């Protein structure tokens, strides 16, 4: 049976190292190539040696697809393409292609320059890697080669995030990457058509969560910021330049406008301008509302949010600052944090996940005394809050997506198998599809049922329709023919034509059976008796009595002769061709039962 094989190469249940290998109809595709931010050694990259031990990756893989620019989905790409070695095509959307290298370079700088790592990719490698990238548009069918095609769908989540459909012939797989089924302030919700793929691969990190209403979450956030600012404190919000930051900016801007607040809001420079530049450039990737108002007023040109200068951190009075990077592990946000940590009027709000080892993670776990460089102890008196604004699909979202796409099978990655049993049952019950949850390194095989198109010759078609009973359009009709497979085409022709094409002579197969009947009368009387009997029984068939004394039932021949030794026994010769096997056997058994005592 044809099959699709899926092997996740990513790390455990952590957020990170997304990398999935898919084998479909002889093509091999790698989905995402992410890095794990929590490790500093080889564990941060997926184990590529699993793919092929000695062959070249370029020969084995037909293409690599990247879903979006988050480092846990593209962070290992330069390592993979330049250090491990891959020269084939890499597909991603236009915004992803534009933004990826920036984030990769940024991360490289921190890892190599600040942390002093040696075995890491270089700036040149990033550039060389991006040269292999082919950018795609939404809903554009891209032919990777003659048989493999891919198509991107809008996924929400972050700018440029896409879900990809991979299709070979009539088998297809849809990979969602990270997606969001509810629209937010600057991005729309994921959408896919009823493409009915054989397999849908979905992230399930948040599948066991039921999210609180977004309004409550936002209101909570705004309340905290407002309270801090009202009492003269400073609010630090560490963010990654691209992603949730824009969402929070729009939220604060709207709030400031509504409440007529005067405290300044700053967005740290560096990646800021580039970020806003890209949002403006890829405005079609944002949501409806932003696009509509773009003509009058660009949502990303903020009235209340200004560019930050390092010196401002020392200004007295309340302020809100968005600073990068997001986990307080280095850079400007860490600098500002150190300045403000000692004052309890201040607040730091972590808007997302923090990897272990970072300052962000430490303060979230409750640590209030941190050891900085040079053995300095920093006492944290400022308030620490954690508001998760990440845009991921929860269980309800996954169900919604499955309802939209109507896959035949579902595969969930990045969830803990024990905790997913209920969701698996829910999916199986509601949609009557199989649901798989492979562990990393484990291969799941999905059997597909592709339909193979076959050309039928006109002659055969005409013959079948001439054969009688009009076919019921809903029922499959059985027909006999010969299947010729030549090169890559399939043809269904009549047997005679097939023989002709092959230059073979047609052979006829004929069966003959002798039935003994006790009948002392003359041969021709026996024949008459048989004829009448058969005519009475086989009303739907054409039974004929020929002048030469034989009987035909359709194309089956029956002749009667006297037994050589016993005049009272007649021998009926029943002869039929291979095609009439069924009728022939039936006739024979009928005659063997004997003739009725008739009054002929």
Partner 1 sequence: VCVAGYGQSGGNEILQLLPPPTLQAKETQGLCPERDFKVECGGFSNRPVYSLKYVPDTSLLVTTGPPDSSLQVWQVSAEDSDVIKPVSAIPTESVPGQPWARIATISARAPWVLHGSRLNSVQITEVESRKNVYMAGIQTKSNDGFLESWELVLCCAKGQLCLADVRQPQSPLEAVSVPSAPCGERWCMGVGRGPQGSDSSSQPIACLSSGGHLTLTDVRKTSESLASAKCRVPSPSSAAEFLCVSWAPALESCLAVSGFDGTVHVYDVQSWDSSGREAEPIFVHKGHAFGGSDSSGGPPFVTVHAWHPQKPRTLLSAASDGSLHIWDWVQACG
- Which residues have a catalytic role annotated? 203
Of 84, 137, 193, 216, the residue at the interface with partner 1 (CB under 8 A) is 216
Near partner 1 by CB under 8 A: residue from 421, 501, 566, 581: 421
User: Which run of H or E residues covers position 47?
Assistant: none
Q: x/- binding map, residues 237-266, to partner 1, per CB under 8 A?
A: ------------------------------
Q: Give the DSSP H/E element, type plus range, for residue 272.
A: helix 271-281
Scanning 16-24, 178-186, 205-213, 528-536 for contacts with partner 1 by CB under 8 A, the matching segment is 205-213
Q: Does 428 bind partner 1 (CB under 8 A)?
A: no
Residue placing its CB nearer to partner 1 in the complex, 432 or 507: 432
Question: Cα–Cα–Cα angle for 221, 225, 229, nearest 5°?
Answer: 170
Give the DSSP H or E segment for 393: none
- Count residues binding partner 1 (CB under 8 A): 29
Decide: 62 and 27 in contact? Cβ < 8 Å. Answer: yes
Quick check: 52 binds partner 1 (CB under 8 A)? no
Asked whether position 578 contacts partner 1 by CB under 8 A, the answer is no
CB of 418 to partner 1, least distance (A): 6
For partner 1, which is the closer residue by CB, 437 or 543?
Answer: 437
At its nearest, how many Å lie between partner 1 and the CB of residue 443? 23
CB closer to partner 1 out of 368 and 480? 368
Identify which of residues 274 and 426 has a Cβ nearer to partner 1 in the complex. Answer: 426
Question: 370-379 b/e with 16+ CB inside 10 Å = b?
Answer: beeeeeeebe
Residue 241's beta-bridge partner residues?
A: none
- Under the binding rule (CB under 8 A), the answer on residue 396 touching partner 1 is no
The encoded tokens of residue 160 equal: 């440029």
User: Least distance (Å) from partner 1 to the CB of residue 328?
Assistant: 14
Residue 219 or 462 with smaller CB distance to partner 1: 219
Q: Which residue pairs from 340-344 have beta carbons closer than 8 angstroms and sit at least 24 positions apart in sequence?
A: 340/234, 340/236, 340/313, 340/382, 341/378, 341/379, 341/380, 341/381, 341/382, 342/378, 342/379, 342/380, 342/381, 342/382, 343/233, 343/234, 343/381, 343/382, 344/381, 344/382, 344/383
Residue with tokens 């073979």: 504
By CB neighbour count within 10 A (0-12 exposed, 13-18 middle, 19+ buried), where does 434 fall?
A: middle
Q: Which two tokens stand for residue 182?
A: 């509810």
User: CB–CB of 178/166 below 8 Å?
Assistant: no
Does position 473 bind partner 1 by CB under 8 A? Answer: no
Per CB under 8 A, 379 contacts partner 1: no
Please pick, from the candidates 111, 208, 457, 577, the single residue that binds partner 1 as defined by CB under 8 A. Answer: 208
Contact 369, 157 (CB under 8 A): no
Token pair in block for residue 204? 């399930």
Stretch that binds partner 1, among 146-154, 300-308, 378-386, 588-596 (CB under 8 A): 378-386
Q: Residue 420 or residue 534: which is nearer to partner 1 going by CB?
A: 420
What is the residue whose two structure tokens read 């370029």? Answer: 58
Q: Does 211 bind partner 1 (CB under 8 A)?
A: yes
Q: Which of residues 104-143 bind partner 1 (CB under 8 A)?
A: none
Q: How far is the CB of 216 from partner 1 (least distance, A)?
A: 7
Considering only residues 331 through 370, tell me which ones interact with partner 1, judged by CB under 8 A: 364-367
For partner 1, the binding residue among 59, 113, 193, 220 (CB under 8 A) is: 220
User: If you count them, how many residues does the chain have?
Assistant: 600
Residues at the site binding partner 1, with contacts judged by CB under 8 A = 208-212, 216-217, 220, 364-367, 384-388, 394-395, 418-423, 425-426, 429-430
């Amino acid at each position: 049976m044809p099959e699709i094989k899926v092997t996740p190469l990513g790390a455990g249940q952590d957020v990170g190292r997304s990398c999935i290998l898919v084998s479909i109809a002889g093509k091999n595709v790698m989905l995402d190539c992410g890095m794990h931010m929590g490790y500093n050694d080889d564990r941060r990259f997926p184990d590529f040696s699993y793919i092929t031990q000695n062959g070249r990756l370029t020969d084995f893989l037909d293409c690599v697809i990247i879903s979006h620019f988050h480092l846990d989905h593209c962070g290992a790409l330069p390592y993979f393409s330049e250090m491990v070695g891959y020269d084939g095509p890499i597909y991603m959307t236009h915004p992803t292609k534009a933004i990826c290298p920036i984030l990769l370079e940024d991360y490289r700088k921190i890892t190599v320059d600040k942390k002093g790592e040696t075995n890491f990719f270089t700036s040149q490698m990033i550039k060389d890697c991006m040269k292999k990238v082919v950018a795609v548009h939404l809903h554009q069918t891209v032919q990777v080669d003659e048989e493999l095609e891919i198509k991107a769908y809008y996924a929400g989540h972050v700018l440029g995030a896409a879900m990809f459909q991979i299709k070979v012939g009539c088998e297809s797989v849809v990979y969602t990457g990270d997606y969001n089924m509810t629209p937010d302030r600057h991005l729309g919700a994921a959408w896919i058509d009823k493409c009915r793929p054989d397999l849908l691969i979905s992230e399930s990190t948040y599948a066991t969560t039921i999210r609180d209403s977004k309004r409550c979450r936002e209101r909570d956030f705004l309340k905290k910021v407002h309270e801090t600012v009202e009492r003269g404190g400073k609010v630090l919000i560490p963010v990654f330049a691209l992603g949730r930051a824009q969402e929070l900016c729009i939220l604060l801007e709207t709030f400031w406008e509504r409440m007529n607040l005067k405290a300044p809001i700053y967005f740290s420079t560096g990646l800021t301008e580039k970020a806003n530049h890209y949002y403006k450039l890829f405005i079609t990737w944002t949501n409806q509302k932003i696009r509509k108002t773009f003509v009058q007023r660009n949502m990303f040109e903020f009235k209340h949010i200004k560019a930050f200068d390092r010196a401002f951190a020392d200004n007295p009075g309340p302020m809100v600052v968005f600073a990068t990077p997001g986990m307080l592990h280095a850079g400007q946000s860490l600098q500002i944090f150190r300045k403000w940590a000692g004052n309890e009027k201040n607040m730091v709000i972590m808007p997302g996940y923090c990897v272990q080892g970072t300052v962000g993670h430490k303060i979230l776990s409750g640590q209030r005394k941190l050891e900085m460089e040079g053995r300095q102890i920093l006492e944290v008196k400022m308030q620490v809050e954690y508001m998760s604004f990440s845009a991921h699909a929860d269980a309800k979202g996954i169900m919604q997506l499955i309802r939209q796409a109507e896959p035949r099978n579902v595969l969930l990655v990045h969830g803990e198998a024990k905790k997913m049993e209920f969701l698996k049952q829910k999916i199986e019950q509601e949609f009557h599809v199989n649901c798989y949850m492979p562990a990393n390194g484990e291969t799941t095989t999905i059997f597909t049922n592709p339909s193979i198109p076959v050309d039928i010759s006109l002659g055969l078609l005409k013959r079948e329709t001439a054969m009688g009973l009009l076919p019921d359009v809903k029922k499959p009709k059985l027909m006999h023919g010969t299947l010729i497979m030549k090169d890559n085409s399939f043809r269904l022709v009549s047997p005679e034509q097939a023989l002709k094409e092959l230059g073979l002579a047609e052979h006829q197969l004929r069966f003959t059976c002798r039935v003994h009947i006790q009948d002392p009368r003359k041969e021709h009387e026996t024949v008459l008796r048989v004829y009448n009997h058969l005519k009475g029984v086989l009303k739907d068939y054409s039974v004929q009595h020929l002048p030469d004394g034989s009987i035909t039932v359709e194309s089956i021949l029956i002749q009667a002769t006297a037994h050589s030794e016993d005049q009272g026994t007649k021998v009926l010769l029943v002869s039929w061709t291979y095609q009439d096997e069924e009728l022939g056997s039936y006739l024979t058994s009928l005659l063997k039962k004997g003739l009725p005592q008739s009054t002929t």
